Amino acid sequence: MNEAAITLDGWYCLHDFRAIDWTSWKLVSQEERTNAVDEFVQYLEKINESHVAKTGSHAFYSIIGQKADFMLMILRETPEELQELEAEFNKLAIADFTVPTYSYVSVVELSNYLAKGSDEDPYQNPHIRARLYPELPRTKYVCFYPMDKRREGNDNWYMLDMEERRKLMHSHGLIGRSYAGKIKQIITGSVGLDDHEWGVTLFSEDMLQFKKIVYEMRFDEVSARYGEFGEFLVGNLLDNDKLANFLTV
């Protein structure tokens, strides 16, 4: 059998995409809408307590295009917490005016392709901990897509030996690093958890950087030959003011 990469696994992750049912939202009274927005803001403030306490994190963005209207990405220590927060959202008044359009369950993942051998426990290393339990940035833009590594004929990632994969991932990492300071990426693993193998979440202050990095990586062998992609979703940061504005009809 071929050697599997060893992964380090951090916080569990739920990407929850919702569309707004504008027609029914417009039908309710102004008072009901205000109450629903206030309650939604309270929920967001509650989940922000974990972000502040560094026991979790979340990102909240409006989504452009018809695939969804907003995305709530939540990171927590346990799958139970994700489920509770999802159920709690569903019980809010605002949820009656949303339609689930997509969700993704995964766990923050680092692989050992480029790791230098060491005897220390990686889970105690502060640099690694900062990546496994990340404070999600509040950049202006987000991009999310799920992806797989191809398993077809001669292009089967899982049949390549470790050395070959390491070499390819090195090249991938070099491109990635050239975007340092422009893009922050969170790779979440979802083999056995959801329909694709990884979720890719990119954060940037400049939406064009998403196009640039994804395009550049398409020419790199890991993506060119072995990358298969699900749907792409992009959006703009939402804060409480923007949310109130967004929901004003």
> Taking CB under 6 A as the rule, which mask of x and - marks residues 24-63 in contact with ligand 76R?
----------------------------------------
Query: Is-contact 106 68, C-beta < 8 A?
Result: no
* C-beta nearest to ligand 76R: residue: 176
User: Does 214 contact ligand 76R by CB under 6 A?
Assistant: yes
User: Does 176 contact ligand 76R by CB under 6 A?
Assistant: yes
State the DSSP code for 2. P
Q: Is 123 a catalytic residue?
A: no
Min separation Cβ 16 and ligand 76R, Å:
21
**Residue in 145, 158, 179, 226 annotated catalytic:** 145
Q: Which stretch binds ligand 76R (CB under 6 A): 51-59, 107-115, 122-130, 233-241?
A: 107-115
Tell me whether residue 225 is annotated as binding. no
User: Does 13 contact ligand 76R by CB under 6 A?
Assistant: no
Tell me whether residue 129 is annotated as binding. no
Tell me whether residue 209 is annotated as binding. no
Integer Cα distance of 140 and 209 in angstroms? 12
**From the list 47, 183, 233, 238, which residue makes contact with ligand 76R (rule: CB under 6 A)?**
183
Min separation Cβ 68 and ligand 76R, Å:
20
What amino acid is encoded at 192 in this protein?
Answer: G
Query: Helix crossing, 162-177 with 208-218: angle to 10°?
Result: 150
Query: Is-contact 182 206, C-beta < 8 A?
Result: yes
Angle at 68 between CA 143 and CA 11, to 5 degrees: 50
Integer Cα distance of 110 and 200 in angstroms? 12
**From the list 98, 223, 235, 247, which residue makes contact with ligand 76R (rule: CB under 6 A)?**
223
E strands of the chain, at which residues? 7-20, 56-63, 70-76, 98-111, 141-149, 151-152, 155-156, 184-189, 198-204, 227-229, 233-237
**From the list 6, 114, 159, 249, which residue makes contact with ligand 76R (rule: CB under 6 A)?**
114
Residue 83 or residue 111: which is nearer to ligand 76R going by CB? 111
- For residue 87, give every residue at least 6 positions away whose Cβ sits within 8 Å of its Cβ, in sequence order, or none: none
φ, ψ dihedrals at 121, nearest 5°: -80, 115
Applying CB under 6 A, the residues found at the interface with ligand 76R are: 5, 110-111, 113-114, 147, 149, 169, 172-173, 176-177, 179-180, 183, 185, 187, 198, 200, 202, 213-214, 217, 223, 227
* Residues designated catalytic: 145
